[in-house]
Amino acid sequence: MTEYFYTNQQSIIYTVVIILVLWIFQFILKKAAQRVGRQSEIHITRTRLMFKYINILVIILAIFLLSITWGYNAQELSLIFSSIFAIIGVAMFAIWSILSNITAGIILFFSFPYKIGSRIKIHDKDLPIEAIIEDIKAFHLHLRTLDGELITYPNNLLLQKAVSLVEKEYHADEGKDAL
């Protein structure tokens, strides 16, 4: 065991440093996302979704950096990663709407002025919608119409349509008699 440590001492030290640096990087990114979420009054579930994206980014960086540390040639790694990304790219082209909804979800996280509980109107000539935002997911929004109908609306369509704020926050208890 000690012989293994001495022969790979430099790689082990680099591994520890890389893991520590990536852990700090992940911590900083999560704190920044949390700060943006708190300042913009974004619901905690949307902030947690950003945490998942940050985790995926850090894992990909860790795999790449640790592979280089343990002796893989950069050309071999670039071939492996480019092959993997080519396969993923072809798969994503086949299901591009999912990718566009995820991208729209990230954009909405940072710039969507409406919150859960806001009453909005989507100006669509074919199907205008006036509803209350019940939940904001990675791919879609859950909207509850004034008639009680639940509508699942894709994030990418929300970026393509004009949306206006009717009421900032809607409370289901409003209008009920106090007991």
Domain boundaries, the chain: 2-94, 114-167
Class of domain 114-167: mainly beta
Q: Compute the CA torsion angle 32, 38, 39, 41 (nearest 10 deg).
A: 140
Residue 12 pLDDT more than 70? Answer: yes
- Helix, strand, or coil (residue 123): strand
Instruction: Name the phi and psi angles at 2, rounded to 5.
Output: -70, -30
Cβ-contact 90, 142 below 8 angstroms? no
In the prediction, which pLDDT does 91 show? 73
CA distance 64 to 77: 8
Amino acid at site 155 = N
**Sheet of 129-136, strand order:** 150-154, 140-145, 129-136, 119-123, 162-167
How do residues 72-90 score in pLDDT, each as one tens digit?
777 777 787 788 878 877 7
pLDDT tens track for 56-74: 989 988 988 888 888 777 7
pLDDT at 168: 66
Calculate the alpha carbon distances from 48 to 34, 51, 133, 137, 145 in Å: 9, 5, 18, 11, 26
* Contact indicator for 169, 114 with CB cutoff of 8 Å: no
Q: What is the pTM for the complete model shown?
A: 0.51
